[in-house]
């Protein structure tokens, strides 16, 4: 029976569906950790998480089994054992599970018991739950192997404790949400450790996968709730942990030698880092050479350009100013100033020739009709078409810049400023945009590739927002003050409150009813919007799935 274990926690990025690359990554970590007894990888790391309907392909399931057998064969060399997350078929049912690879074979397999089926998770669509798991014997030590959601409920850990588990090793694919790191550690992991008297090592993955991003931030907690180790967030890390069996009273317990406790990113840096990492991985994993975006001189495009530069470096970001007759000299100056601070390429392509061409082309059809929002939207669509042409011709992905406040109420032009392959601001309300812009203009994120602050002229942050599609236009002409709008939207979207409940908080009824109506009307636009990183609890797309056509109103 071992009295000392070296357990390596591999907090890694992944490539969904690229089993060979994920396996090669695991072999590389194993080769670099020869003194480890056990190397642990995140949930479903061999396949990638979340695989969505890709997991329904029989060829992928068969290839996963083959790759797992190859990884198991590697352990015949007497080196470190591995704990690998994958998919498994038992009696015709598909399971999310982990396999202990030791001595050249698959020594043990345990299945996930609690399957999440809310928000971003659809695990009951794909998997059947396993039975309550038993501990796995490894070098004489009873390891409890709860998988992600298994520790968010007490049953699995209590069951493992009753069967003699001595150390919990919990593998995870836990996406980032605002304040979730505190909930994971204090609200979940420490409770399970204290409740059972068993230390818990929590391993999470890091990196972006379409609309979700994983923040890493793995940790180890003791049975008294002490934080023994805290890995960094937003970066890959291979954490070597040393465990020793120590005498406590008349018995023994396992303790982890205290290690480095990294400071996690605070607000709003965590939100900004989520946007940066999500965009970086979306661009790189889809093999785009870089990005192109419209730089208007406004705050949304300025902070999007900063996110892109921090994600990819200035040499991979192409900014384009697309002025019309309504574009102010101030906006031209601010766009140029922003590009200069970020070190990006900036081209200017006036859209007036195309505007005039459309006006002439449509004049017979529009005869005797006064100009209205149609002409405003034409400008936006000309810009969107121009940017898409640059993307098609030269290869960079078009990044769009609309925030969640605008997307909520439809203050965006479909096939215009909504054009793009990805939107970092999709789940960020306008007040969040102001907050991250002010923060980034004074600080640089740890994972950023861009310049030290500032990244935009201060005037961009302080001036009243405007789409500049008609003379002297301001966002406030069409929308309530953003502080009011975002508070109402938070109640309607994040909290699912009714009009009556929101009015009871002191808001004007007519305003709340109007905002609810706009949210409902804009659903068809959001269905056609590009993907963007999830930040809060109810993002459009993965979390909030409303019918486009319905007649229910809360007023």
124 token code pair = 């009951």
Beta bridge partners of 492: none
Q: Dihedral of CA 480/485/489/491: which sign?
A: negative
Q: Which of 102, 114, 123, 148 is catalytic?
A: 148
Cβ atoms of 230 and 219 within 8 Å: the answer is yes
Cβ atoms of 113 and 156 within 8 Å: the answer is yes
Does the active-site annotation cover 273?
Answer: no
Does the active-site annotation cover 166?
Answer: no
β-pairing verdict for 38-40 and 136-138: unpaired
For residue 240, the tally of other CB atoms under 10 A from its CB is: 15
Q: Which of 478, 461, 460 is nearest to 469 (CA)?
A: 478
Which are the contacts of 461, defined by CB distance < 8 A and separation ≥ 6? 299, 434, 437, 438, 441
* Count of positions (residues) in the chain: 555
Does the active-site annotation cover 43?
Answer: yes
Cβ atoms of 105 and 82 within 8 Å: the answer is no
Q: Which of 102, 112, 211, 269 is catalytic?
A: 112
Cα(488)–Cα(484) distance, integer angstroms: 6
Cα(376)–Cα(467) distance, integer angstroms: 9
Q: Which of 161, 28, 47, 53 is nearest to 99 (CA)?
A: 47
Cα(274)–Cα(293) distance, integer angstroms: 19
For residue 53, the tally of other CB atoms under 10 A from its CB is: 9
* Residues noted as catalytic: 43, 112, 148
């Amino acid at each position: 029976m071992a009295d000392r274990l070296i357990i390596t926690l591999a907090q890694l990025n992944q490539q969904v569906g690229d089993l060979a690359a994920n396996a090669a990554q695991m072999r590389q970590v194993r080769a670099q950790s020869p003194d480890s007894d056990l190397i642990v990888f995140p949930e479903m790391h061999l396949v990638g998480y979340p695989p969505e309907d890709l997991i329904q392909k029989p060829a992928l399931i068969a290839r996963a089994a083959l790759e797992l057998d190859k990884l198991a064969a590697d352990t015949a060399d007497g080196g470190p054992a591995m704990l690998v997350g994958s998919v498994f078929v038992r009696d015709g049912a598909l399971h999310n599970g982990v396999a202990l690879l030791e001595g050249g074979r698959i020594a043990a397999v345990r299945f996930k018991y609690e399957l999440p089926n809310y928000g971003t998770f659809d695990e009951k669509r794909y998997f059947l739950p396993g039975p309550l798991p038993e501990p796995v014997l490894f070098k004489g030590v009873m390891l409890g192997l709860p998988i992600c959601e298994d520790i968010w409920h007490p049953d699995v850990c209590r069951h493992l404790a009753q069967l003699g588990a001595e150390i919990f090793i919990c593998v995870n694919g836990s996406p980032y949400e605002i304040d979730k790191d505190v909930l994971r550690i204090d609200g979940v992991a420490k409770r399970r450790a204290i409740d059972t008297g068993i230390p818990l090592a929590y391993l999470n993955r890091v990196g972006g996968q379409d609309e979700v991003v994983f923040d890493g931030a793995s940790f180890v907690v003791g049975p008294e709730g002490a934080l023994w180790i805290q890995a960094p967030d937003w970066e890959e890390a291979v954490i070597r942990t040393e465990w020793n069996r120590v005498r406590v009273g008349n018995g023994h317990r396992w303790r982890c030698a205290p290690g480095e406790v990294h400071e996690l990113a605070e607000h709003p840096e965590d939100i900004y880092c989520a946007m940066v990492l999500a965009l970086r991985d979306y661009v790189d994993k889809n093999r785009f050479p870089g990005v192109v975006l419209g730089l208007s001189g406004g705050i949304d495009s300025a902070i999007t350009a900063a996110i892109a530069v921090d994600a990819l470096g200035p040499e991979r970001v192409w900014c384009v100013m697309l002025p019309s007759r309504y574009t102010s000299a101030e906006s031209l100056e601010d766009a140029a100033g922003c590009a200069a601070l970020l070190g990006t390429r900036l081209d200017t392509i006036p859209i007036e020739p195309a505007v005039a061409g459309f006006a002439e082309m449509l004049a017979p059809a529009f005869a005797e009709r006064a100009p209205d929002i149609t002409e405003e939207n034409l400008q936006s669509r000309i810009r969107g078409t121009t940017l898409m042409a640059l993307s098609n011709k030269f290869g960079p992905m078009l990044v769009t810049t609309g925030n969640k406040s605008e997307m909520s109420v439809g203050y965006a032009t479909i096939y215009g400023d909504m054009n793009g392959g990805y939107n970092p601001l999709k789940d960020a309300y306008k007040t969040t945009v102001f907050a991250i812009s002010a923060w980034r203009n004074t600080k640089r994120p740890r994972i950023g590739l861009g310049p030290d602050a500032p990244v935009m002229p201060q005037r961009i942050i302080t001036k009243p927002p405007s789409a500049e599609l008609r003379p002297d236009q301001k966002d406030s002409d069409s929308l309530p003050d953003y502080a009011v709008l975002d508070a109402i939207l938070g109640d309607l979207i994040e909290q699912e409150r009714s009009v009556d409940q929101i009015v009871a908080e002191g808001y004007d009824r007519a305003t709340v009813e109007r905002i609810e109506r706009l949210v409902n009307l804009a659903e068809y636009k959001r269905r056609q919007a590009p993907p963007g990183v999830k930040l809060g609890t109810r993002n459009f797309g993965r979390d909030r799935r409303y019918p486009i056509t319905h007649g229910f109103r809360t007023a």
